[in-house]
Structure formats: structure tokens, C-alpha cells
Amino acid sequence: MNEANHGNQADISWSDFEKVLMVAGTVTRVEPFPEARKPAWKVWVDFGPYGERKTSAQIAALYQAEDLLGRQIVGVINFPEKQIGPFRSQFLLTGFPTDEGVVLTAIERPVPNGTRLA
């Protein structure tokens, strides 16, 4: 594989990467989302200077509500809001899809809420 090409993925510039606002936040609230087509939680996250935002996340296969409360996650907060059934999603909770379910992007040690991924 050509290192400059990485398969079918085109290289991006640093300015392209800088457009994606990925920041750390702490989960403050988790509620069931029975209306979701796939098992999901409603999740509220404190992103510090960016405020509290909510999302729907299909992470119920691997995470119980109590596993999520107080945990730091990585969210993309500059996508447009998205209506998911009766719920309005305000950010993308990042993770890695596996056969067992989505594994959350981990933060190795605590950082201030709102810290941007670099």
C-alpha cells in the first residue's frame, strides 16, 4: 500500500482536520431511549466552555448507564443538530464499532472539559 494514499482514503490537510471540533466532555446524565430502533442511551455531556449537549448513542450493548456517568468521552460538537425520532442530537459521541458493540473513544487521563483533540 502506498503510504501517501492509505488505501482508498485521500490525504487531508491540517486545515481540514482543524474543521472537526473534537473535544473532551464528562457524562452528566444517561436515560433510556426505548423509541430507538437499535439499543441506545440518551446521553448528556458537559463540554466546559461549549456547554452541556445531548446525543443519542448506540452504546447500550457494552455500557450500562452507571458505567457512563462521570466518564470523560470525546465528542464532535460542530456537526449540525440531528433529529433522531423524538430526540434532538447535538453532538457525535465517538467510538469504534466492533462485533460486540461500539467501544467508546477513551481518554487516558482526565483533562479539562472542552479540551480540544489535537
Q: Do 105 and 17 form a contact (C-beta atoms < 8 A)?
A: no
Kindly tell me the burial class for residue 92, based on how many C-beta atoms sit within 10 Å of its own C-beta (0-12, 13-18, 19 or more). Answer: middle
Structural domains in the chain, CATH included, are 21-104 (2.40.50.140)
- Phi, psi of 74, deg, nearest 5: -115, 125
At residue 1, does pLDDT exceed 70? no
DSSP 22-70: EEEEEEEEEEE-TTSSSS-EEEEEE-GGG-EEEEEE--TTT--HHHHTT
Per-residue pLDDT of 43-79, as tens digits, reads 999 999 999 999 999 999 999 999 999 999 999 999 9
Q: Do 36 and 72 form a contact (C-beta atoms < 8 A)?
A: no
At residue 4, does pLDDT exceed 70? no
